[in-house]
Homo-oligomer: A and B are copies of this chain.
Amino acid sequence: MSLAQIRIILVEPTGPLNVGSVARVMKNMGLQQLILVNPHCDPFGKEARLMAVHALNILEQVQQVGSLPEALQGCQQTIATTARPRSLSTPLETPRQALPWLLNSNLPSALIFGPEDRGLSNEELNYAQRFLCIPASPVYPSLNLAQSVAICAYELYQASKIPLEFSSDSSTKLASFDVLEGYYHHLEAVLLKMGYLFPHTAKAKMEKLRRLYNHSNLSAEEVALLRGILGQINFIWQHLPDNYSRKS
């Protein structure tokens, strides 16, 4: 149970003051890994350094990557933050409900924050297994990015100090981001081939299937089981006559 394995990922941040403030509160709360996806500001500039104060080491170790999947490489458990309910079948949780889960194992995990002006897109949300929304007044629910990180970092720090009630060995077997992505690509290919998906509907249906399996906390062994079924469907396929055509 350690804060060190948790990545704080900011997608396309635009405010250097925010990035500096995030670095400071991360250090305040024992977090170390800050990853910026395609930042629209300079994380090493004067403004960011001004706000970071004694957390310059967090800024200096910032990783900058070009895409969210790159930032999530190797992650076992991912939570995305969102400002408002969307058309998600997975329920929104409070920071206090969701965040202790990231401390469940000593494997890499991530907490993702969207850009200041728009938050995370549906496509970006699809990379997460759980969704967090900071409770706020309906009159003005839009929090500043660095304030949102502060609240989550504070909850993580508190959770790290409390012995967890649930067993840790179930989570150590959780399928990693890469294993899950491999399954989704395999599933999409098979479903397209068998005529369940069509190119123009594939995206929407795959989003639903991703959400279904993302909130299932699949183990690597379970993913292997599901891929075995896909393999058998492929095997059947080879026995289909040439004149087989898709369901219309």
* Interface positions of A (Cβ within 8 A of B): 17, 21, 24-25, 27-30, 51, 53-55, 89-94, 96-97, 133-137, 139-144, 146-147, 150-151, 154, 157-158, 161, 164, 166-167, 169-170, 173, 191, 194-196, 205, 208-209, 212-213, 215-219, 221-222, 225-226, 228-229, 232-233, 235-237, 239-241, 244, 247
Q: Compute how far the CA of A65 lies from the CA of B143 in the bound complex, rounded to whole angstroms.
A: 28
> Which 3 residue pairs are nearest across A and B when measured between Cβ atoms?
A91-B170, A216-B216, A196-B232
Shortest distance between the CB of A110 and any CB in chain B (Å): 20
**This chain: how many copies in the complex?**
2
Partner of A147, one of B30, B146, B170, B215: B146
A28-B136 contact, Cβ under 8 Å, with A215-B217, A232-B194: yes
Q: Compute how far the CA of A235 lies from the CA of B247 in the bound complex, rounded to whole angstroms.
A: 8
Task: Report yes or no: A21 in contact with B196, Cβ–Cβ below 8 A.
Answer: no
Q: What would 24 A/B residue contacts be, using CB atoms closer than 8 Å? A: A24-B143, A25-B147, A28-B136, A28-B141, A30-B139, A53-B144, A54-B142, A94-B158, A133-B166, A135-B157, A135-B158, A135-B164, A137-B157, A147-B147, A147-B150, A151-B151, A194-B232, A195-B232, A195-B235, A205-B225, A208-B225, A212-B222, A215-B216, A239-B244
